Chain A
Amino acid sequence: MVTTTSRRTRGARRAFAGALLAGLTLFTSAGAAVADDPSASASPGDEGSGPTEAGTTFRTATALQQGQAGTAQASAGDYLYWVFPADTGQRPTVKATVKLPEGEAKRSASTWQIDVYDGLRRRQACQYGHQTRKAAPDASAVELSCVLRTVRSWSEPWANDPLPGSYYVRLTVVNLPADDLGLPFEAEVRADSVDQGGAHHVDGALAEPLVPGISVTGASGTSQARAAGEPEDGWASGWWTTRWLWTVGGGVLAALAAVFGYSLTRGRGRPAHVPHGV
């Protein structure tokens, strides 16, 4: 499926992208509709009915879609992993709720934390949100959140800016008295994102999103394996940005202004006192 294309051809294609706008939209939406059809009945898909288990390592992380809530029952001290896709222009927010069962078991104060890693397992900073929070001994729930930076379509290899691809969420207790290790708790994780719009659209694009193993799964052609790490409607093609509207609109306005300016110098038509044919 992935063929090696020289960068020159790709550059040329990007240049033509604008011209191909309408046809491409029609074609991709048709393709996506066909691709979505068979899985519609198989996948739980619906809001809220997310997976009820969580992975325990990067490798076994449970896949989530944005807007889907993943739940899990685990023992305090476990490391729980989920993975969700985020695309260019999105600013993902990860929210996690830890429910501590109230009961006869006496608990002490505990500190919980979520960490978000990108597809290269690089830790991603949270702009805002309670990434780490302490639960009082009598607390029944802890709410954690992490607002990531806006995902860019390209960055220099020396930067760790968020790029389109998989994002791993790790939930764990970071500070817990030994007596409370292994006691049950419930967790719920959800990732949503805000579309940040054209202001954040940068030039350049990755050939493939940062999904681990993409060169292996892509080559063997198992579309199902790839689909696991993909957003529901596929990855964005990267050519659409509202900057097209601004620029084209600006051009039109400039043309109108030019016509207006030209007409100013013409005055209000031929002066009345000048006779015809002069």
Chain B
Amino acid sequence: MITRNRLTAGVCIALATLAAGLGSVLPAAADEPPATPAPKVELVLDVSGSMRTRDIDGQSRMNAAKQAFNDVLDAVPEEVHLGIRTLGADYPGDDRKVGCKDTKQLYPVGPLDRTEAKTAVATLAPTGWTPIGPALLGAADDLEGGEATRRIVLITDGEDTCGPLDPCEVAREIAARGTHLVIDTLGLVPNAKIRQQLTCIAEATGGTYTAVQHKDELSRRVTQLVDRAAEPVITPVATEGAGSCSAAPKLEPGLYTDREKIGEHRWYRVDVLPGQELRASVSVAADRAVDNDYGVLLRAVTVHGREIVRGSESGTGRTDVISSGLRYPSPEIEDGDDGSGKPAAETVCLQLSNAFSAPASVKRTPGLPVELTVDLVDGPDQASDVAAFGLGRGWWLLGVLVLTGLVAGLLTGWITRWRIAVWRTN
């Protein structure tokens, strides 16, 4: 089983090494996975008037941000497509309507020309309003297209006063588009309102919030976030579970995302061949302010509604996700032919439900993000005994064996003697 894979792997590698004639070929090949799409990152920088304030290591916030950007632009990994968007950079006036539309792309998302990008950043001067919501929408559009991972890094020192567009709602809508977009936020001012808004944005998209106090913290954190985007990850496939098993989408092994509202049920179907093992795990993310106690339940049910196995979990307190999983080894059947010589697959329905609750003020749509992993592997070797191979262990076992041997030896001896004696008398 596992040994066999290892053996095969070992033999394959040995063969590959031989064929290439060089051992060094392998790591080189491993470094370049087949044409993964370039990860995209957009830095969204607040250039509102308040960035003039001098409170970061004695410098203005704008200066700190510019220096951080220089560091970051130097350190951006080659494969990352980076763009820069500003908000509040152009309109210095008092007209709220105009000021709240003031966001533009400073540097387009694409292969990075470091000098050009740095020059563009150097021209920035703190000017206008803080339209975070429109900036996020703009950034999401900039990153549109392709299968790559996307990340928005928002650096701001003020809350969005533009309304009625709540940036937190905007972020959740962007996340619900199913484009695997993560928004990380960095706040330059330790202010309760800003923090609340920025944590809400981060939470809604599975991102992080950082309170920046020093210049070097800013550049280190942004560099870290850009690097994170470059990490190769498997991009999940969006699916939509149905309200009943009969209408449910059929899933192949893989990674899926979905959305599930609070109190909703979602059904999926998986075809399992006899002798295969179904493995399914699910995570439901708490991307908004939910109540303190929550749970998740994943059930594997037959088409007739009989529950086979379930995975459930409940939790309390602060969390990002709640997850559970299940495993169902389908029994091997002797005569399961459907006429074509192939055994008929069994349809297993997966029912997902969550036990989140939220205060009435919290929006219910779109639903909570769901991540579902489905695997189909060979079935396990069922245990025929409690102990490995039915083997024994321990002093009791030795004692019993020795005693049995002794008794057997004695008996054999006595019987032999008795038979010889009988033979002699005759």
Mark A residues whose CB is within 8 Å of B: 1-2, 4-7, 10-11, 14, 17-18, 24, 27-28, 30-32, 34-35, 37-39, 41-42, 53, 55-60, 73-75, 77-79, 105, 117-123, 153-154, 157-158, 160, 172-175, 178-179, 181-184, 198-199, 201-210, 212-216, 218, 222-224, 226, 234-239, 241-244, 246-247, 249-251, 253-266
Contacts and interface: CB of A to CB of B under 8 A. Distances in A.
Given A184-B217, A259-B409, A206 B417 contact: no
Given A243-B388, A261-B406, A10 B13 contact: no
A55 B24 CA distance: 29
B119 interface: no
A223 B281 contact: no
A175 B409 contact: no
Interface of B: 1-3, 5-14, 17, 23-24, 26-27, 30, 33, 187, 190, 192, 195-196, 198-199, 206, 208-211, 213, 217, 220-221, 224, 227-228, 231, 233-234, 236, 253-255, 275, 277, 279-283, 309, 311, 313, 317-318, 320-321, 323-329, 332, 371, 373, 375-394, 397-398, 401-414, 416-417
A246 to B, nearest CB: 4
Given A4-B378, A174-B317, 17 more contacts: A1-B12, A32-B6, A35-B6, A35-B10, A56-B208, A56-B228, A75-B210, A121-B281, A178-B192, A179-B190, A181-B209, A218-B377, A223-B9, A223-B13, A234-B2, A246-B398, A258-B409
B381 A261 contact: no
A243 B199 contact: no
A262 B410 contact: yes
B30 to A, nearest CB: 4
A2 B377 contact: yes
Given A75-B211, A77-B208, A209-B2, A253 B377 contact: no
Interface of B: prevailing SS: mixed
A207 B277 contact: yes
Contact of A205 (B23, B380, B414): B380
Contact of A38 (B12, B27, B233): B27
Given A28-B6, A31-B11, A157-B326, A79 B389 contact: no
Nearest to B202: A77
Contacts of B281: 119-122, 212
Contacts, number: 333
B387 A258 contact: no
25 contacts: A2-B5, A7-B332, A27-B7, A32-B6, A32-B10, A37-B17, A57-B206, A57-B321, A58-B321, A73-B220, A73-B224, A79-B320, A120-B311, A154-B382, A181-B209, A182-B195, A202-B388, A204-B382, A208-B5, A214-B375, A243-B391, A257-B405, A262-B413, A263-B413, A265-B417
B378 A2 contact: yes
A223 B12 contact: yes
A244 B84 CA distance: 65
Nearest to A209: B2
Nearest to B313: A123
A204 B231 contact: no
Contacts of A261: 405-413
A172 B318 contact: yes
A37 B320 CA distance: 40
Given A154-B380, A212-B373, A257 B409 contact: yes
Given A73-B224, A265-B416, A1 B392 contact: no
Contacts of B313: 122-123
Given A53-B227, A120-B327, A257-B405, A238 B413 contact: no
Contact of B387 (A5, A235, A243): A243
A199 B277 CA distance: 27
A28 B386 contact: no
A181 B390 contact: no
A238 B380 CA distance: 12
A214 B279 CA distance: 10
B142 to A, nearest CB: 23
B10 A28 contact: yes
Contact of B402 (A34, A120, A246, A254): A254
Nearest to B1: A207
A256 B404 CA distance: 11
A53 B275 contact: no
Nearest to B373: A212
Contacts of A266: 413, 417
A182 B197 CA distance: 13
Contact of A208 (B378, B407, B413): B378
Contacts of A202: 383, 386-388
Nearest to B190: A179
Contact of A24 (B3, B24, B253, B417): B3
Given A157-B329, A158-B309, A247-B391, A105 B213 contact: yes
Contact of A157 (B7, B209, B309): B309
Nearest to B415: A265
A164 to B, nearest CB: 8
Given A73-B224, A250-B398, A213 B13 contact: no
Contacts of B383: 154, 202-204
A35 to B, nearest CB: 5
A265 B413 contact: yes
